[in-house]
Structure 1
Amino acid sequence: MAETANTQALFDTARTLNAEWRLDTDMNGWQLADIRGQLAEFLDSVDVVYLTIDLDVLPAAQMPAVSAPAGYGVDIAVVEALAGRIAKSGKLAGADLVEFNPAFDIDSHGAKAAARLAWSLSRHLRR
């Protein structure tokens, strides 16, 4: 979640629901070991996962095709690595990519990024 793109009420609700999250500023490639550890704990605690990748989590330079481009965002390499780990867990029941808006795409840049994520997920599911 981005502190700059979400309301205090959303954070308060997440706390009330005991939801877990990481800020986009805590989702860098160099933090991937810690992130994978948190994800492994989560995957161990559930039977099934439905994954939604909100494409506006990606930095605007990687995903211009959204109505609310991220000023900071989470690099596609990090998102791809984590989505792949979820797919490999055997607990992935379904997944979707949301918020894509072709009216805002630049030279199919966003479409290619979304296609890359979809391809990556399906590749991990086949293994």
Structure 2
Amino acid sequence: MRHVIKLRLRQLITYLIVVYPVCFCSSTNAEFFSSTNLYQWLENDMNGIESYEGGMSKGYLMGVMDMLATTLPPTICVPKNTGISAYELKSVVYTYMATHPDMIKEKPDKVVYQALSEHWSCK
């Protein structure tokens, strides 16, 4: 019985030392690419250069837009009956980034948030 308790205690200590810090110390807003990358990929896509990264960037924009449009209260207010095309979404973010070059140093999620909330403001 003591052996089982020691084994369980050792497992718990190992968990607390190895696994627990990894779960809670890793960043929850991981940055898989920079705003510079996003801008370059969108620019290539706008110029008709198709790439994996261009598709990934459009998927990223759609995911961020969906998340912002479904928060309560909504962070962005998109037109209800017209819908938004992937091209329009890409164009809004690309234009924002082109006209706000100082934002390139920010994380991509912040840049996309600023672009979308400015374009489709709920006010």
Shorter-chain-normalised TM-score: which range? under 0.3
- Larger proportion of helix: 2
- Larger proportion of strand: 1
The structure that has the greater radius of gyration is 2
Instruction: Tell me which of the two structures has the higher relative contact order, counting C-alpha pairs closer than 8 angstroms and 6 or more residues apart.
Output: 2
